[in-house]
Structures are given as C-alpha cells and as structure tokens.
Structure 1
C-alpha cells in the first residue's frame, strides 16, 4: 500500500473509532421497509401519473439528455418545467439544474460579486456552506434564525453589498426560519436574501408554493429562491428562481449550469407531473401535518428530546454517534428506515435520528414505525 493510501486508512480508523463511518446500503426495488429516512414527503415518487410521464418521455427522448443545457441538453420538458416552477414559486423565471446542490453552488457564487459580504446561517446545509466557501467572498456565520444578530452583522458594515443565505425549513431539525422578520432586516440594509426552500416546497404556502411564499415574499425583487426537486416532488434536480437578470447571468456565466450535463428528460417530465399533483395535494399536506404532530406527541411522551417540525422533517436526539448508529440499525433490522445524522452533518455536533415523514405510507405502517423507534431506543 502506498503512502497516500496508508494516510487514508489512518483517517478511516480515526473516523471508525469516533463512530463516524458511513455505509452504502443498496435497496432492492419494491422492498417492504417503511421509509422514514427518504425525502419523498408527498409520496409522489411512485405515483402512477409521475411514473407514466417519465416513461413517456423516456420513450420519446431516450435515457439521457446527451449534453449540457447549452449544447443539446435542453428539451421541451425542461422548458415546460421551468415555466411552471416560476409560476408556482411566484418569480419571473426559474432555471433547472441537475441537482439542488449544484443549484445552490451556482446561485451563491452568482450573487457574490467582488466585495460582497456573505452572511450564512449557522445551521445551513452543506451545499450553501460550500457555495459560500468557494465564492471567494468574505463569509460571516450568523447565529441561527436570529434577525437581531443579522441586523448587528449588517450594521457593522454599512454600505457594503451583502447577501444573507438561509434555509426556510432547516434540513436537520426541521425548524422554520423567521423569513419575514429576516427580510425586514435585509431590506433595511439593502441586502439580498437567498433562501433554500428544499424542505418547504410542496409542503408550506398556498398550494404548496413553499416557505418563501408562505412568508409573503414570493416575487420580491431582493429575494432569490433555490430548491431541490428530489424531496416533495419525488424526482431529482434543482432549481433557482428569481428576477430575469439573475437567470440570464446564470445561463451566461454559471459554471455549475454551463459545464454540467442536463438532467434526463424523463426525470424532468416526471418531476413536472409531480408538480401538477403537488399543487392540488392539500389532502397529502394535511396528512403530513397530522403525522408530524402525532410523532412529536408519541416520542416526547416516551421521554425523547424531539424537535418541533415546521413541515415534514424532525429529529430525535441520540446520546452519541455510536448510539445513533445502533438505534438506526436496530430499526432497520425491524424494517423501519430512519435517518442517522452525526457530525459533521449536524450543525451543533449532536447526533440524532432524523425522521422524514411520508404521506404515502399507510396509517398502520406509520404507527408501527413509531412503536419500533421507541422500542429500539438505546
């Protein structure tokens, strides 16, 4: 074994000792596991209309997009989806990427002009953090969901161009940022606000238009929205929505857009079908709200520390990384899939089970899953 491989092995042993080893677990089609780990909040990934739209586009266009969006990768399904996403989110234009991660990298870097200050919420997703780090701009990490702290940071740098970067519903604990109050601060100081709406799209706001819409900020000229298409819409891809000049700038200069192969037309068509269903899925959103409330009641009654969910994701505190791993593994052995979040995926260094609720699971299976989580606790 060469020197660089030995160095990697040493690092692996350190991670294993700390309980931070990660494992890939391929799943078979049609498995019977009750899924509280994936992000298919509305249960649309296997919806017949969604699958049918994808199959139809697969037959029409073939397996892949065959190129980047600016070469041969843009198809009518891409254009149609972007038009409906812009309308749904309430912004002039939307641009589809092959992942939410790339959409966040592209949006942050596009807004970070020379001299820009980036203010990033402490609990932001890794994609936003990486976008800030790779932008070359000065980055200040702000206390979590704190408008007064944001005002203090911006007031200390008067007249400087600034962008505040946040999630709407945060991806680990599932809490909701006070977007309206934060926007009052950014507006007062002439700053922009970039909101990752990944865990709110399809779940919050009128017709599921997201957390930004729910806060009354849809279409605001100083707000930019990003989201993944892999959660409530059950597919894959990402989107940036905002004013026309921003989208034009991303098409002309955005490296994560220009140099990346376009998402496959079949996936895009399936996502578009899911969007059409999601807009009218108030019944599914009601199921999620009921299940979120039930989960909090049941687990808190059993003595666990549980976050208060704003949408479909919540967390249950574990004693440590090894205990979280064992807890998740015991649940999996009983056919219940739960998320296991450990450092560095958790912003505060605590280990958790992360539960992502799914309206497509039967009531009986959901109740059984909660029983198993309680019974398998370390």
Structure 2
C-alpha cells in the first residue's frame, strides 16, 4: 500500500539519526522553560532581546484586544487592514529609514511575496547556498533561473552575474545566517547589485533588533543606504518578541507587492492586537542598547569559556553561537546529555544544515544570566 511507504520512510529517518521531536512548553517563552514538568535553561529561542514575555508588550496586546478584538476578519485588501496595522507600518518605515513598509503574517510569506513578484521566467536569481528554506522555496516558485553561489563567495557571484544575459537579475541572501551566525558581506553584495543592475533582497530575520544603530538591522550595521534597488525583509517574531514580518523598500516597490504578491493578497490579515504589541516592541528595541550589550557580553563569555576545549564554536559575532559536531547521532547524544542536566540546546541536523555538519545551536538572549551561561560551559566541559 502507498501508506506503508510512509512507515518505511520514517524508519529511514530514524536510522539516519534525523527524527525530529516535538516538545510542548508549559511556560511562557523565556530563558527558563518547562517541558514535561521539568524546568530547564533554554538556549533554543530566537527571542534575542527577551521581549516575548515583556510586560509592556503584554499590556499593549491586552489593550489592543479590548479595543480591536482578536481577529482581522479578512485580507488586508478587503477589510482586514486596521489602524494599528497602518500605524505599525509607518513606525517601521520611520525606524528603519525606508519610504514604506508592508506587513506580513510570517517571514516565510514575506519572502514568498518578494521573489516571485519581482522575477519570473526569463530572469535569474543569484542565491547564497546557505540561504534560509523560505528563500530557496521562493526562488523555486518564481520560475526564474536559479544560480547558487558558495557561501559568501563574492568572486563566484561576480562571475555568475557577468556571464548572465537575462533581462532582470536578483541577488538574495540572509543578512545573518541562522545556523552559522555569520554575516553576509552586504557592502560587497550591494556593490555587485549596482554594477550589474540587479535587485538585492536582504533577509534580516536574525539581524533586525540586534544589529545596527539602536537595533535598526544589518544594513544600518554596515552603514548602507536605503537604496531603491534594495528590498529589505525583517521578521517580528525573533528579536521583536511577537509575530509577523515586514518588507521595506521604495514606494513603488511596496505598491507593486500590494498589487501582485499572492501571499499578501490571498491571506487573512494578522491580528490587530499583534500590531499593538509590536508598536510597543519597536520602542523597546530602539531603547534597547543595554540589552544588546548584554548579548555581546554573554557571547564573549561563552566563547572564552569553551576556548581550548573540544567544543569549537563557529566564528559568529551574533547571538547565534553554533558548535559543529558533525555526526548526527553524536550531536543528538550530546543534546540529550545536556537536556538531562537541565540545559536545552537544540541538535540541528540535515537538511537544515549540510550533511556532515550537524551541530548544537546555542541561541543567546539578553535575559540569560552569566550564571546560566557558566552552567552550560561547565556541562559541556564535563561532556568532552
């Protein structure tokens, strides 16, 4: 039977050490998690600034629910675009320095709006090989020719661009690579986009709120302008502590997405109460230099504590601090040993990362303490 094939395929996943496990949390998102009645220190979350359970956001969400209700009732273009949505789009544009922004329910949907709406058959996409799955899927949906270049390899990218004779070119990259924690060379990418008259799409899911002046993101970090050829995507469910995403760009670019982006047009608008919470979040991000300093200090503590041990971290200047182990089963074993010690660190395996590079992904938050990081360092030293 066709159903039996699923059982066999699941068995193969088990054999390869690739079975994922769904855990249910019994406490709000924060540095301390409760799973199956156990309290653990969590190094899993992308809540980099510790805003997911911030009282100011909760208060704004409750007030938003009382005033605007829970659901939006329709797509943004029918009757689902409320005053808080419009206010948040204006606030994000002001904060990031772009003429206009457009809200989406998820970053995945935002990326699926950008690429297929800007390029198609007869065009070409130039994509870093370590880009997020949402960008990979969006590139496939566009039906444009896809050219992958080795991670952060600007020489290969330039050769690909120079050799291409298509009508429209689009370069796309994560700003912060979520499984490595390193940065894309955005100044070089921008220079190549200028030289070859290409769009440049930047996915700043893990940089927005953390990098740049007052957390304005990776373009601010590198001092790059809000150019009309750049399309900037930021997510609101990581450092911003809530949910959703936004695309920032020129007036013309955003209006084109409003008119043509299927993942915007044909979906129900996000809850207005979420927009209310996010308006409070942007204020805290802008005022959050102390939180960002705490993140940098914790990353330095972790790296210093593991220096000279078996556990070598990838060269990451961000809140994502990966420890590459390589073997799938060994990575799972170490993660389980840490879990038994009250430390929750996810084991990341293919296809999320390339084969042979399974790793522990340590994700730091400004709400972690030095004592929590010291506990993780001590446990890893015990497991050498």
TM-score, normalized by the shorter chain, greater than 0.5 = yes
CA offset at residue 289 of structure 1?
0.9
Alignment partner of 1:41 is 2:48:
yes
> Where in structure 2 are the equivalents of 1:327-366 lying within 5 Å?
327-347=334-354, 349-366=356-373
Q: Which residue of 1 aligns with 2:73?
A: 66
The secondary structure found in structure 2 opposite 1:174 is coil
Of 245, 251, 274, the residue aligned with 2:258 is 251
Q: Which residue of 1 aligns with 2:321?
A: 314
Kindly indicate whether the alpha-carbon contact (under 8 Å) linking 2:328 and 2:356 is maintained by their aligned counterparts in 1: no
CA offset at residue 158 of structure 1?
4.2
Q: Deviations over 1:322-378 (max 9, x none)?
A: 11112222222222221221000004541001111100122222321332243345x
> Where in structure 2 are the equivalents of 1:74-223 lying within 5 Å?
74-158=81-165, 160-223=167-230
Looking at structure 1, the residues matched to 297 and 88 of structure 2 have their Cα atoms a distance apart, in angstroms, of 30
Q: Which residue of 2 aligns with 1:19?
A: 17
The secondary structure found in structure 1 opposite 2:24 is coil
Q: Deviations over 1:33-84 (max 9, x none)?
A: 2221110000011111111111111222222222221222211111111111
Looking at structure 2, the residues matched to 20 and 259 of structure 1 have their Cα atoms a distance apart, in angstroms, of 34
Q: Which runs of 5+ in 1 are unaligned?
A: none
TM-score by length of 2: 0.94
The secondary structure found in structure 2 opposite 1:70 is coil
Kindly indicate whether the alpha-carbon contact (under 8 Å) linking 2:171 and 2:200 is maintained by their aligned counterparts in 1: yes
Q: Deviations over 1:147-205 (max 9, x none)?
A: 21111100111464200000111010100111001211111111111000011111111
Kindly indicate whether the alpha-carbon contact (under 8 Å) linking 1:103 and 1:239 is maintained by their aligned counterparts in 2: yes
Kindly indicate whether the alpha-carbon contact (under 8 Å) linking 1:90 and 1:213 is maintained by their aligned counterparts in 2: no
CA offset at residue 271 of structure 1?
1.9
Q: Which residue of 1 aligns with 2:277?
A: 270
The secondary structure found in structure 2 opposite 1:96 is strand
Q: Which residue of 2 aligns with 1:6?
A: 4
In structure 2, the CA distance between the partners of 1:329 and 1:62, relative to structure 1 (3 Å rule), is: farther
Looking at structure 2, the residues matched to 302 and 192 of structure 1 have their Cα atoms a distance apart, in angstroms, of 43
Looking at structure 2, the residues matched to 358 and 265 of structure 1 have their Cα atoms a distance apart, in angstroms, of 27
The secondary structure found in structure 2 opposite 1:225 is strand
Looking at structure 1, the residues matched to 203 and 175 of structure 2 have their Cα atoms a distance apart, in angstroms, of 6
Q: Deviations over 1:265-315 (max 9, x none)?
A: 222221221111001111111111111122122223222221122221121
Kindly indicate whether the alpha-carbon contact (under 8 Å) linking 2:326 and 2:356 is maintained by their aligned counterparts in 1: no
The secondary structure found in structure 1 opposite 2:200 is strand
Q: Which residue of 2 aligns with 1:298?
A: 305
The secondary structure found in structure 1 opposite 2:300 is helix
Alignment partner of 1:323 is 2:358:
no
The farther-off stretch of 138-147 and 215-224 is 215-224
The secondary structure found in structure 1 opposite 2:247 is strand
Looking at structure 1, the residues matched to 268 and 379 of structure 2 have their Cα atoms a distance apart, in angstroms, of 42
Residues paired across the two proteins, number: 375
Kindly indicate whether the alpha-carbon contact (under 8 Å) linking 2:302 and 2:374 is maintained by their aligned counterparts in 1: no
The farther-off stretch of 301-310 and 16-25 is 301-310
Root-mean-square deviation (CA, aligned residues, Å) is: 1.5
The secondary structure found in structure 2 opposite 1:301 is coil
Q: Which runs of 5+ in 2 are unaligned?
A: 29-33
CA offset at residue 231 of structure 1?
0.7
The farther-off stretch of 222-231 and 112-121 is 112-121
Looking at structure 1, the residues matched to 383 and 53 of structure 2 have their Cα atoms a distance apart, in angstroms, of 29
TM-score by length of 1: 0.95
Kindly indicate whether the alpha-carbon contact (under 8 Å) linking 2:209 and 2:285 is maintained by their aligned counterparts in 1: yes
CA offset at residue 216 of structure 1?
2.2
Looking at structure 2, the residues matched to 293 and 127 of structure 1 have their Cα atoms a distance apart, in angstroms, of 30
Runs of 4+ aligned residues of structure 1 deviating over 4 Å after TM superposition are none
